[in-house]
Amino acid sequence: MATKNRFAPISSVNTAPELASNQSASIQSTSYNAEIYEAQSIPAPSPIFASNIDILIKLHTDFINLIGTKNFSFKSNSKNLKIETIDSEAYQMIIKHLKEKQIEHQTYQALEQRAF
């Protein structure tokens, strides 16, 4: 007993060799695009954890004036403030500002700067 293929109107009429060559070209294109994306992606800098901050709003306005509104984000809990930046340039500027203001902070060393 044979049934009618209900997907026949939307399927293309390709022979097996044409279908195989189209699939291999598609796979090669996809892998090439993935390699380009991996080469262009840059990891985000490590988060900065600051503590003992008296005036959070003042620090927030200082960062806006220093690096802009879209280059960092704040997350806070009862003990710490977590500062995340978009790029390493903004990260370095925030670290410098925290050191100048003598605000207690900690962060992790970037993979590129590690000795091992």
| 105 falls within a domain | yes
Statement to judge: residues 107 and 73 lie in one domain: yes
Residue 2 belongs to a domain: no
| Structural domain boundaries, residue 76 | 48-113
Other CB atoms within a 10 A radius of the CB of residue 90 amount to 20
98 vs 26, more confident: 98
Do residues 26 and 65 share a domain? no
Question: For the stretch 31-41, what's the b/e string if a residue is b when 16 or more beta carbons lie within 10 angstroms of its beta carbon?
Answer: eeeeeeeeeee
| pLDDT value, residue 112 | 65
> Tens digits of per-residue pLDDT, 34-71?
555 555 667 788 899 998 888 888 989 999 999 988 88
Whole-model pTM above 0.95?
no
On whether both 70 and 103 belong to a single domain, the answer is yes
